[in-house]
Amino acid sequence: MDITLIISGIVGGLAYSLSGLANKNTRESFDWKKMTPTVIVAGVVGGIAAFTGQDYGFVVNSSMAAGITVVVEKLYKAITTKLFKKE
């Protein structure tokens, strides 16, 4: 298993997290607790890519991890919102 794919996933997760922080209308302080789950998901995506042999280069792998992380996080939020909705 190629460790650089996991690293590229982590880089993609960091890039996605930092871009989200930069796009906030209100100034928010940096918080590792909010960023950690995103980076972990992206690292897992990189690990899956490494395990299945999906090596397209560092930049493409980072972008792929960031994109898949967005989808996973949005699905997670949608599902948990529906399941734990207070009525």
CA 82 – CA 2 distance, rounded (Å): 38
Calculated CA dihedral for residues 26, 71, 63, 10, nearest 10 degrees: 80
Confidence tier at 1 by pLDDT (50, 70, 90): low
* pTM for this prediction: 0.74
Give the pLDDT score at 87. Answer: 62
Please write the tens of the pLDDT for every residue from 6-56.
888 888 888 888 888 777 777 777 778 888 888 888 888 888 888 888 888
Task: Give, in order, the Cα–Cα distances in Å from 17 to each of 1, 44, 52, 54, 60.
Answer: 26, 15, 25, 23, 17
Instruction: Write out the residue range of the structural domain in which residue 48 sits.
Output: 3-22+29-83
The token pair that represents 21 in the structure block: 């922080």
Amino acid at 38: T
As for how many domains the chain has, the answer is 1
Would you say 12 and 64 are in contact if contact means Cβ atoms under 8 Å apart? yes
